[in-house]
Amino acid sequence: MSVSSIDPAQSALSAPEPSTFGEEGEAAKEIQGRSPWQLAWARLRQDKVAIGSAVVILLITLVAIGAPLIAHLVGHGPGDTYPFLGEDSYGLPIGPNRTFLLGADDLGRDVLVRVVYGARVSLIAGVVASALAVLAGGIVGMLAGYFGTAVDTALSRFMDVILSFPLLLFAIALVSLVGPSLTVSIAVIAFFSWAVVGRIVRGQTLSLREKEFVEAARSLGASDLRIIFVDILPNLVAPLIVYATLLIPASIVFEATLSFLGLGVVPPTPTWGNMLSDSLPYYKVAWWFMLFPGGALLITTLAFNLLGDSVRDALDPRYARLFKA
């Protein structure tokens, strides 16, 4: 193909090494047939911030999965107390040393092991709650946006009600009824997050529904279900992915808040939230006790937020250009 378009003399000249024409032809060939996803992936790979935060998230995930291994290597379990090794003669926690790499807490427990175990709770809560929120918000939003009229009014008002709920009061009330646990935390987080997603999806669906390709599908005799899943959903996947990545850090912070207030995971299990809560009385004498769980929380949410921003830029390059100007 590319050879035929080149002047014969030039092609003869440039035969040993690829001509500029040939290179262009090959580049053009490569560009052809790339799906929107492949293009987004290519953009994402060139984004250093995205790669950096993805690596950080990967490391945190590996550490969370390998938490028992780390506990084994260090020789301290997450709930093991060392009243003599981990505390000084005044009963105050001991700072970082060779036994306790990141110091010990008020009960003489290893902060490193507890931070590592805390990552498990944070990641599970963040990912599961966000997934539930995106799923519920996506479904409700699509139904409201696609069917409109009475369905839309009912579902939209329902979302408004949820968005106007005093969330901490609700959490306290619920926990006092059923008792705190990770499941309850996840349920509370998902319950308060899905309506935001639902509203965005509803708005997008509302505009997609009026597109001519939906009308084309209707004129072909497609059912509502087919239009929703085949024609509308693929156009919503990009915003849903962006929202999921941005919801994860918010959910992690939310979970930490609940734990901090004693409404989340019950104390012997380490979470970043209840470690921060425990460290409050000691922040003057034991900086490590507050710094490491707090730092872990900060780094995790920062990495997810930066990745979310990069994913959005990669999926919708126009948006990024607007702000770079």
Partner 1 sequence: MIHAVAPGSAPQDSDVLVRVDDVRKYFPIRTGLLRREVGRVHAVDGVSLEIRKGETLGIVGETGCGKSTLARCIARLYDLTAGTVVFDGRDISRLSRRRMRPLRKGIQMIFQDPIGSLNPRRRVGSIIGDPFAIHGISRGEDRKHQVQELMRVVGLNPEHYNRFPAEFSGGQRQRIGVARALALRPKLIIADEPVSALDVSIQAQILNLLTDLQDEFGLTYIFIAHDLSVVRHVSDRIAVMYLGKIVEVASVSELYARPRHPYTNALLSAVPVPDPDQADQRERIILVGDVPSPINPPSGCRFHPRCPKAQNLCTEVDPPLEVKKDDRAEHVAACHFPVEVGEKLSRARAGIAQPERQAAVEVSHEAVEGAIGPKEKT
Contact residues toward partner 1 (CB under 8 A) are: 32-33, 35-36, 210-213, 215-222, 226, 230-231, 234-235, 237
* Rounded Cα–Cα distance for residues 248 and 325 (Å): 29
Q: Which is nearer to partner 1, 4 or 35 (CB)?
A: 35
Give the nearest distance from C-beta 318 to partner 1 in angstroms. Answer: 13
Tokens 């126009």 appear where?
Answer: 318
Q: Which two tokens stand for residue 165?
A: 């709920």
Distances (CA, A) of 46 to 55, 154, 194: 14, 44, 32
Q: Which is nearer to partner 1, 72 or 211 (CB)?
A: 211
* Rounded Cα–Cα distance for residues 267 and 79 (Å): 10
Q: Which is nearer to partner 1, 72 or 157 (CB)?
A: 157
Give the nearest distance from C-beta 222 to partner 1 in angstroms. Answer: 5
Q: Which two tokens stand for residue 241?
A: 């992915």
Q: Which is nearer to partner 1, 166 or 221 (CB)?
A: 221
Give the nearest distance from C-beta 141 to partner 1 in angstroms. Answer: 17
* Rounded Cα–Cα distance for residues 249 and 129 (Å): 11
Q: Which is nearer to partner 1, 70 or 227 (CB)?
A: 227
Strand partners, 104: 110
Distances (CA, A) of 321 to 148, 268, 313, 324: 33, 48, 8, 5
Q: How many CA atoms lie within 13 A of 41 on its CB side?
A: 5
Give the nearest distance from C-beta 238 to partner 1 in angstroms. Answer: 8
Q: Which is nearer to partner 1, 42 or 49 (CB)?
A: 42
Q: Which is nearer to partner 1, 240 or 297 (CB)?
A: 240
Give the nearest distance from C-beta 258 to partner 1 in angstroms. Answer: 37
Q: Which is nearer to partner 1, 220 or 325 (CB)?
A: 220
Give the nearest distance from C-beta 164 to partner 1 in angstroms. Answer: 18
What lies within 8 Å, CB to CB, of 6 at 6+ separation is 14, 19, 21, 22
Give the nearest distance from C-beta 235 to partner 1 in angstroms. Answer: 5
Give the nearest distance from C-beta 30 to partner 1 in angstroms. Answer: 13
* Rounded Cα–Cα distance for residues 234 and 323 (Å): 26
Say what angle helices 111-147 and 182-209 make with each other, to 10 degrees.
Answer: 30
The answer to whether the Cα torsion of 102, 105, 110, 112 is positive or negative is negative
Tokens 């996803």 appear where?
Answer: 37
Give the nearest distance from C-beta 161 to partner 1 in angstroms. Answer: 16
Residue 87's SS3 state is strand
**Cα 325 → chain centroid:** 27
Q: From 255, 275, 257, select the one nearest 79 (Cα to Cα).
A: 275
Tokens 């790339």 appear where?
Answer: 34
Q: Which is nearer to partner 1, 80 or 316 (CB)?
A: 316
